[in-house]
Structure 1
Amino acid sequence: MIPLTLDEVRTIVGGELVLPAGSSAADVVTGSVETDSRLVTAGSVFFALPGEVTDGRLFVPSAVENGAALVVAEAPVEAGVPVILVADGVVALADLAREVVARIRDARDGADRLRVVGITGSNGKTSTKNMLRAILSDLGPTVAPEGSFNNHVGAPISMLRSDFDTRYLVCEMGAAGPGEIKRLVGIAKPDTGVVLKVGMAHADGFGGIEGTRAAKAEMVTDLPASATAILNRDDFRVAGMADDTAARVVTFGLTEGAEYRATDIEVTATGTSFTLHAPGLTREVSLRILGEHHVMNALAALSVTGEWGLDVDRAATVLEGVTRAERWRMEVLDGGPGVTVINDAYNASPDSVAAALKTLAQITGPGQRSVAVLGEMAELGEFARDEHDRIGRLVVRLNIHRLVVVGDAARHVHMAAGLEGSWDGETMLVPDSDAAYDVLKADLRDGDVVLVKSSKSAGLRFLGDRLAGVTA
């Protein structure tokens, strides 16, 4: 974070400063901002936020022991370091992030100014963010979230990693309900807003696909005319957001007419290649990342690069060196003699499961078996049964050879596949990961390609690691 005095922080968050003996309101804090006491280091600001299960104030002693220089809390707490009392810790965190980003902007202008991009979509946010981080880090100091820090707490924390040296700030913006992306956009005020896809992820919180569309459109509705909205031309719900924004619109996709377009896509077990068509540039791109759906993420990242006036050819070369989208996202692992494990179980929506299954079918060669290990797709609410049923039928249509469904919540995948009489494959429903592991270890053979896919809550990412002997 940029250097701020205690009094400046108090003013920004609208709180009451409580000083212990020996401290002054003029004292400066420069450390990281954290909500997890385990991540606190010397000089950090610790936001002791209340949670559904516990209260951050319980972890103040641990935060102070780890070096916290300031605690922000909603109620009095004994800390031995300065404390700022606020009415709402989440609002205070947002206010601090908004001010810090604004001050960095104000400190520089011209070619050296801070560039901010916001990325949202039902799928692909984290992968696109990671691609952009790789591209931009090659060009200058870049801040981007670790993991999926994209909600009302994680996104501001990520923004607060910025300082006066930061050239590029990449903000991943997720939402579980209406208004959340709008709030994050109001904090970061992106120069560029990217919308990847509108799908059924978190459909329960949005009330269906049109509610999801409205929430994702919040990325571009408040952008000024000086900003750029980068939209997926292939998704009609996203493409239609051009009518919702005053910003200049640029599109990407496979569709003719997109400014950043891919043709001649080829997916193999070693990666994904395509021909990139960008303004003033046509070239072959060979990604080491697995899956046709990552072509769209790459196009989005390259669109930002090009629209910021950066070298797209150099950016494409950087992308060719990226070895994986993210831990537990289409991560290719060695499952033992002749067995390939694709661990893609960090999250799952109907669209991402369909994309992963398509990739599995594409890369399984003659004489090999495709094995899909599927768990629950969470947060679908009233749509859960139909969407799990649709995935089961897709397994059959893609002629996946073996299906192992894990957990009762995903049983409709198993049931739907089993009802398809034309299918020569096999399906099995098992109660948990341990049972799935036992079945797979007994059945897997040389040449098998195994996809492990579920929402994070189902825990199958650990099953994927276990099948490949990964311990960390």
Structure 2
Amino acid sequence: MMSMTPRQIAEAVGGRLVEAPGSERGADGPAVAGAVSDSRQVTPGTLFVAIRGERVDGHDFVARAAGAGAPAAIVEHEVPGAALAQIVVDDSVRALGDLARHNLRLRREQADPFTIIGITGSVGKTTTKDLLRAMLAELGETVAPVGSFNNEIGMPLTALKVGASTRFLVAEMGANHVGEIAHLTTIAPPDVAVVLKVGVAHLGEFGSVERIAQAKSELVRGLVPHGVSVLNADDAHVAAMAAIAPGDVVWFGRGAGLGDGVERPTALGARDVHHDELDHPSFTLTKGDRSVDVHLAICGDHNVMNALAAATVADLMGLPLERIAAVLADQRHISPHRMAVGEVDRDGVRFTLIDDSFNANPDSMRAGLDGLAAWGASRAGHTVRVGVLGAMLELGADEHELHRSIGAYAVSLGLDAVIAVGSASDAALDALAGDIAAGADRAAEGRDASHPVSVKLVHDVDGADRAVRAIAAAHPGTTVLLKGSHASGLSALAERWGSEGAAA
């Protein structure tokens, strides 16, 4: 964070400063270093932003923040007796955004170069962000969110990590509604806008894929004058955003094209893509007449596109192809619950876990299932593959059919077992899991009798745990994919297994 005192922060957010008890009246106060909205993350010198949530009110923790060394807090009402300066505002979330905007403005006023890269898309944002952060770190100090901090709270908190020596800010920008990304770009106007894909995530909230495309296009519209758009040449909705780009358009893609006769030459290309027995993709990365071999350390064919997007930006920023390839080969650990591979030993039963449980929509669900289907394909003998699948949320009126189609898709890939995980306490989640099982059952009716598929519906993660252990006990070498929305609880199951013996 750029150096600011509580008084300067109050001026930046239009708040009323209530000085700390015992402080010298009219003094600026100590410099603030960073900001958090979780009092457990406060360290000496950190600004605490008290946010009123659905379940927790940050104002209840202002005194705790003061005790941990926070010199100031942004609050919506004065908290009596708290031993720190209080900046009283009407809306803490809006003030957080205002402060982040001011912080980035201060950084841009410095003489040293500073670049903001915004990333959006229905799938792949966090993985692309993780890969790009690692590449840009080769060129200078890089700030990027931990995990999926991409909303009106997470993105400004990340922007407040930018200091005088920061060279790059990678800002992940997500949306549940039209206008959200537009708002985020007023806080952090990007120099480079990366749009990965327009899919059906949050279809129930937006109402149509066209509305989703409109929301994602807000990142391009929010570019600084003459900013660069980095667009997916293989996605028609993304390609259409070239028409609104304020500056240069740089394409990435695998050369599939859109069949519309329009030539969209990619800055970097991926040729001769293939996978090892653990589904790590390899390909030849091309730039004009130059090429370099790339071996991804993360799994999944879909990550070729994420790697291409990140590599295209890194190339724009001046990172040589050889260093791009080296970084991609070294990035084994990305944000949690995203195609993370480990070995689980639970009650003496061992199996391989592919943990992709952070969240789910139809596009990412199919990508995860593709990765499971490819796992161990080149090995001698048969690897038993189990898809443990939870509900997908915010899909609108077609949600039941979309869930049935995922169950059918899992069976079509030749999986050995599909375990649909519902909820004993949430009838809606349970019904959607039932749709996955129904779709799988229907598809299994036409399955070759020599390769049957087991379909099971369970009503909590404990049931999923027992079902997986039973299969793995009977079939050494079992591989399990966990994939579902956060509400399905599968990420908690992954953490349970991880705490009891997973090893990357």
Which TM-score band applies after superposition, normalised by the shorter structure?
Answer: over 0.9
| Alpha-carbon distance in 2 for matches of 1:3, 1:97 | 13
| Alpha-carbon distance in 2 for matches of 1:52, 1:342 | 33
Match of 1:97 among 97, 100, 115: 100
Matches within 5 A, 1:52-71: 52-71=54-73
Match of 2:41 among 11, 15, 39: 39
Match of 2:356 in 1: 344
Match of 1:21 in 2: 22
| Alpha-carbon distance in 1 for matches of 2:470, 2:224 | 59
Match of 1:422 in 2: 446
Match of 2:397 in 1: 382
Match of 2:295 in 1: 286
Q: Cα–Cα, structure 1 residues 48 and 466, in superposed 2: closer, same or farther, change >3 Å? A: closer
| Alpha-carbon distance in 2 for matches of 1:278, 1:204 | 40
CA contact (8 A) 2:361 2:393 kept: yes
CA contact (8 A) 2:279 2:374 kept: no
Q: Does 1:73 align with 2:81?
A: no
Match of 2:197 in 1: 197
Matches within 5 A, 1:157-196: 157-196=157-196
CA contact (8 A) 1:48 1:71 kept: yes
Which amino acid in the other structure matches residue 375 of structure 2? I
| Alpha-carbon distance in 2 for matches of 1:133, 1:85 | 35
CA contact (8 A) 1:115 1:169 kept: yes
Which amino acid in the other structure matches residue 381 of structure 1? G
| Paired residue total | 469
Q: Does 1:434 align with 2:462?
A: yes
5+ residue gaps, structure 1, are: none
Q: Does 1:396 align with 2:411?
A: yes
**Cα distance, 1:25 vs. partner?**
3.9
**C-alpha RMSD over aligned residues:** 1.7
CA contact (8 A) 1:364 1:449 kept: no
**Cα distance, 1:279 vs. partner?**
4.4
Which amino acid in the other structure matches residue 316 of structure 1? A
Matches within 5 A, 1:236-385: 236-255=236-255, 257-268=265-276, 269=278, 271-279=280-288, 281-336=290-345, 339-365=351-377, 366-385=381-400
SS at match of 2:118: strand
| Alpha-carbon distance in 2 for matches of 1:280, 1:173 | 34
Which amino acid in the other structure matches residue 267 of structure 2? E
**Cα distance, 1:3 vs. partner?**
0.9
| Alpha-carbon distance in 2 for matches of 1:85, 1:464 | 41
CA contact (8 A) 1:32 1:40 kept: no
**Which whole-Å deviations, capped at 9, do the CAs of 1:27-74 have from their partners, x for residues lacking one?**
242322011111111011111111122221111111111111101111
| Alpha-carbon distance in 1 for matches of 2:362, 2:178 | 20
Q: Cα–Cα, structure 1 residues 106 and 281, in superposed 2: closer, same or farther, change >3 Å? A: farther
**Cα distance, 1:449 vs. partner?**
1.6
CA contact (8 A) 2:297 2:329 kept: yes
SS at match of 1:107: coil
| Alpha-carbon distance in 2 for matches of 1:245, 1:416 | 42
CA contact (8 A) 1:368 1:448 kept: yes
Match of 2:421 among 400, 406, 431: 406
Match of 1:455 in 2: 485
Match of 1:106 in 2: 109
**Cα distance, 1:317 vs. partner?**
0.8
| Alpha-carbon distance in 2 for matches of 1:136, 1:75 | 41
**Which whole-Å deviations, capped at 9, do the CAs of 1:264-286 have from their partners, x for residues lacking one?**
21223062111112246311100
CA contact (8 A) 1:5 1:25 kept: no
Q: Percent identity?
A: 40
**Cα distance, 1:418 vs. partner?**
0.4
| Alpha-carbon distance in 1 for matches of 2:372, 2:502 | 24
Match of 2:425 in 1: none
Q: Cα–Cα, structure 1 residues 205 and 25, in superposed 2: closer, same or farther, change >3 Å? A: farther
| Alpha-carbon distance in 2 for matches of 1:26, 1:285 | 53
Matches within 5 A, 1:142-157: 142-157=142-157
CA contact (8 A) 2:343 2:501 kept: no
